[in-house]
Chains A and B, each alone.
Chain A
Amino acid sequence: MTSHVMPAHSDSHSSADNYLTASKGFLSWALTLDHKRIGLMYLIGTMTAMFIGGFLALLLRAEHLSGAPGFVNHDTYNQLFTLHGAIMVFLFIIPSIPGALGNFILPVMLGAKDVAFPRMNLCSFYLWVFGAIFFVGALLTTGLDTGWTFYTPYSTNTSQTNVVLATLGAFILGFSSIFTGLNFIVTIHTMRPPGMTWFRMPLFLWSLYATAIIQVLATPVLGITLLLLAAERMFGLGIFDPKLGGDPVLYQHFFWFYSHPAVYIMILPGMGIISELISTFSRKAIFGYRFIAFSSMAIALLGFLVWGHHMFASGQSEMITIVFSALTFSVSIPSAIKVFNWLATMYKGSIVLATPMCYALSFLFLFTIGGLTGLFLGALATDIHLHDTYFVVAHFHYVMMGGTLVAFVGGLFYWWPKMTGKMYNEFWGQISALIVFVAFNLTFFPQFVMGSRGMPRRYYNYLPEFQVYHVLSTIGAFLLGFGLLLAAVVLIVSLFKGRKAPANPWGAATLEWQCSSPPPLANFEKTPTVGNPYDMQSVVWDPDTESFVRRGDVPIVPDETEQPAHA
């Protein structure tokens, strides 16, 4: 394994130059190899996808204000929920944290100049863009009404919509994800500067590493499955359609073999962000560093063994069903470990409810509900009743939206000063966190009750007894949209009115706070000092610069014999 040596400080840039101002013009962005600019472009792209996906969700919820046909018909409704799911999963949740925050932060946090393969990194962004265009193409031509899961044989022999175009889009997006994962694995293995041992890596990097492994190992299966699906639809090959001698349940196995690990592509980086936020805003070393790091790896590996729990009612063999149920419960343990360790980190801390911490605490609340409601679905007897009802819809929104999205927004508020060099309005940031939290529960909690009472998912019409829950949920959804919009406004306003961000506004000890905000083109003016990433007491508040600075600003020479961070 080679250690990456930091480039010598270049005098050609003045200290005022940063990655944003280093070069100008459209091409300097379109052809950039700088991970920070690519991260920023990913951010703009995935945020656009999120607001489109969210808008579709609001249309769905508005339709459900009454059980009678409203402003959309059956077909439009089916296309709306399909596009909402497909856009949110493939264009937002999977690429958002690794693509936007990961790309920006990973090399800086690691103390490296860039990712291992900058060109591949740019390529992965363009694959995302082209994949997105294919998806939007499917939307604008004949729509897509298969659900984001593309279940066969409906998708291959019945749906009249543009399944092939959409699967091609997902296929291309898969490569984008593989490239990002590959890049992160190689970067972490080969580009750690002297002193950055595995157990000095911040937990966000551990989580991105675990995520990258899943991206590289699982995504090819989705690619091949979607190609088989397109081949069956175009050439009538009998793979999944029983009329042609295929097996529709085989498709579900293939699909979930990717898509269940993909759930961890979505949530693991979010967990990594939370580890950073809770530690920083409690001014305390993360509790049980090694347990959290290993639990990320455990989740990544166990995540490959539980896909069958999406198919308890599918007619797969009963023996297999029982084995999958048992394995499913094993994943709950590393998740529980993380929650307890985060709590223990706050114990005897010095806690400040800055905006990112508000989102982190909101995550803790919502993710715990998301995780615990998974127990109802992992247990066979109860899953049979709850499967394919709104209970499942509520459960995965608590995990993916209450978990991943809230962590993402928290992380965005946390690293925003680093990315843009601007501080945002703290008060309105906190208000946005509060609105998102309350509105989220109002939207999705009624769905647990509704699902338990038997309301099936993906239903355009519903029975009158469910209306009260649907109305509550719709009100919540609109409030939630408002909360997220407010968060976006707070951030955008900061670009114009925010005061200049210091290098280290929060007092974190990880390396990205050692460079200026925004970082210079090569990330560090001088080689950063690698130490314990959670030694918060190594930085102190300096009222003169309104920033945290290294205590005494004496560089500590990294000591290879020193105990790792958890000791």
Chain B
Amino acid sequence: METFRNLLDPFPSQQSTFAANVDAIYYFIFWLSTFFFVIIVAMMCYFVVKYRRVEGQEPEKSPSHNTPLEVTWSVVPGILVLGIFWWGFTGYVDMRSPPAETYDINVTAQMWSWQFKYGTGAVDAELHVPVGTPVRLIMQSKDVIHSLFVPVFRVKQDVVPGRYSGLWFEAKEVGKFELFCTEYCGQKHSDMITKVVVHATDEANVTDEVPQTFDKWLEVASDPLEGGRIPLEQAGEKVIGMFGCLQCHSIDGSNKVGPSFKGHFGQQVQTRDGSVLMDENYIRESILEPNAKIRQGYDPKMPSFKGSMKDEWIDAVIAYIKSIQ
């Protein structure tokens, strides 16, 4: 029974401050609709049984119109939908009016990954936010239209190339939640999924699922090299994770949207216009100017990381790629 109830439960959990209001409107419309639907279907069934045809017997005379009745069933639904409109409208205004003080995160959407950039220079392929803090996303797209959707927050906003779009929310609980792209954006649209990681703001509230506080996470993410305390290739692995490179490149030699990181370093590889030696310079060029020399058999789909991937991070990525050959 519990499973059955779960199956019909229309909503994921409420994890943002306005989720409860959205659900309340939803349930209001739901019960109102159910009420009318049951009446309509019940009347329909009753009439079918009650007034079923008896051969040779014509129906008794009944009026073919009734203006007061018809005006009533035009006006009453009119008033009800006006109420629904009003509630939906006020809820929307809340969603679109961020408070004066927000924590801002820059979002770049591209086929088919997300990049979240923080004021400290930190970059990540997952969205990390502090709990109980109004967060504003300033979003842009590098290619086509995408849409950022977090079901548990009940928020969604298209990310349109050529302009910034905004979105705000305040997460209520620590945890990891799904984040989807909901505007069809080509081949791997359905793989453009990542996580929202809601961090505690103090050590007392960290969980097993999210063991770091937001500040701690931000400190590490801002400096994947950890001040040189870890090996360069290990730092490179972190950078690759931060930028979501594995969405399109494998580390096991298999081909995805782009060529694999494994098995090519130091070799002459075929490009569309000839061939090139896959060395440090080619990797660096491919990160900053991905379309300069496109490998044979691949489409020019990779966006440039110029400006977001620091030089020393590129060094780390090169070190990592060399280490997995």
Contacts and interface: CB of A to CB of B under 8 A. Distances in A.
Interface of A: 74-75, 78, 145, 147, 151, 153-154, 157-160, 242-243, 247-249, 282-291, 313-315, 318, 321-322, 325-326, 329, 332-333, 336-337, 339-341, 343-344, 346-353, 361, 364-365, 368-369, 372-373, 375-376, 378-385, 387-389, 448-449, 452-454, 456-463, 468, 534, 537, 541, 566-567
Given A315-B163, A337-B74, A340-B73, A372 B33 contact: yes
B92 A322 contact: yes
Contacts of A343: 40, 43-44, 47
Interface string B22-57: 100110011011001100110110011001111111
Given A75-B187, A340-B73, A381 B160 contact: no
B29 A456 contact: no
A286 B64 contact: yes
Interface of B: 7-8, 10-12, 18, 21-22, 25-26, 29-30, 32-33, 36-37, 40-41, 43-44, 47-48, 51-60, 62-66, 69-70, 73-74, 77-78, 81-82, 84-85, 87-96, 111, 143-145, 147, 149, 151-152, 154-158, 160-163, 165, 178, 180-191, 193, 299
Nearest to A468: B7
Given A284-B59, A285-B64, A315-B160, A350 B92 contact: no
A83 to B, nearest CB: 14
18 contacts: A154-B184, A154-B186, A242-B160, A286-B64, A313-B156, A333-B78, A341-B70, A346-B47, A346-B51, A353-B52, A365-B41, A368-B40, A379-B29, A381-B18, A381-B25, A382-B25, A456-B181, A456-B182
B22 to A, nearest CB: 5
B58 to A, nearest CB: 6
Contacts of B77: 332-333, 336
A248 B181 contact: no
A153 B65 contact: no
A369 B8 contact: no
Closest 9 CB pairs of A and B: A242-B162, A381-B91, A454-B151, A379-B88, A380-B92, A452-B10, A459-B190, A372-B33, A388-B182
Nearest to A286: B64
B149 A537 contact: no
B178 A283 contact: no
Contacts, number: 270
B307 to A, nearest CB: 18
B47 A78 contact: no
B160 A314 contact: yes
B31 to A, nearest CB: 11
B189 A376 contact: no
Among B29, B85, B147, max chain A CB count under 10 A is at: B85
Contacts of A567: 64
Nearest to A463: B178
Nearest to A149: B184
Given A154-B185, A364-B44, A369-B37, A381 B87 contact: yes
Given A368-B37, A378-B88, A566-B65, A329 B82 contact: yes
A284 B61 CA distance: 9
B184 A381 contact: no
A385 B15 CA distance: 13
Contacts of B158: 313-315
B12 A453 contact: yes
Among A347, A373, A463, A541, max chain B CB count under 10 A is at: A347
B180 A329 contact: no
A381 B73 contact: no
Given A147-B184, A315-B157, A381-B25, A361 B44 contact: yes
B162 A348 contact: no
Contacts of B41: 365, 368
Contacts of B22: 381-382, 384-385
A288 B72 CA distance: 13
Given A282-B51, A332-B77, A456-B181, A337 B60 contact: no
A372 B37 contact: yes
Nearest to A365: B41
A313 B159 CA distance: 9
A153 B184 contact: no
Nearest to B144: A154
Given A349-B51, A376-B29, A567-B64, 14 more contacts: A151-B144, A247-B162, A248-B160, A283-B53, A289-B65, A329-B82, A347-B62, A350-B54, A372-B36, A380-B91, A453-B10, A454-B152, A456-B149, A456-B190
B37 A348 contact: no
A350 B158 CA distance: 53
Contacts of A459: 189-190
Contacts of B32: 375
B62 A375 contact: no
Contacts of A248: 145, 160-162
Nearest to A566: B65
Among A78, A352, A456, max chain B CB count under 10 A is at: A456
Among B8, B65, B143, B186, max chain A CB count under 10 A is at: B65
B53 A291 contact: no
Nearest to A462: B190
B11 A453 contact: yes
Given A325-B88, A346-B51, A454-B149, A287 B188 contact: no
A213 to B, nearest CB: 22
Contact of A351 (B48, B90, B95, B151): B48
A68 B253 CA distance: 21
Nearest to B151: A454
A380 B21 CA distance: 12
Contact of A321 (B7, B91, B92, B185): B92
A452 B53 contact: no
A347 B144 contact: no
A344 B65 CA distance: 9
Contacts of A159: 186
B40 A339 contact: yes
Among A154, A160, A364, A462, max chain B CB count under 10 A is at: A154
A329 B145 CA distance: 28
Contact of B74 (A282, A336, A347, A458): A336
B122 to A, nearest CB: 26
A117 to B, nearest CB: 35
A314 B158 CA distance: 5
B190 A461 contact: yes
Nearest to A74: B187
Given A154-B144, A329-B82, A336 B73 contact: yes
Contacts of B52: 350-353
B190 A145 contact: no
Contacts of A373: 33
Contacts of B57: 350
Contacts of A537: 58
A380 to B, nearest CB: 3
A243 B162 CA distance: 7
Given A375-B29, A388-B182, A453-B11, A381 B88 contact: yes
Among A242, A291, A379, A461, max chain B CB count under 10 A is at: A379
A566 B64 contact: yes
Given A325-B88, A326-B85, A151 B184 contact: yes
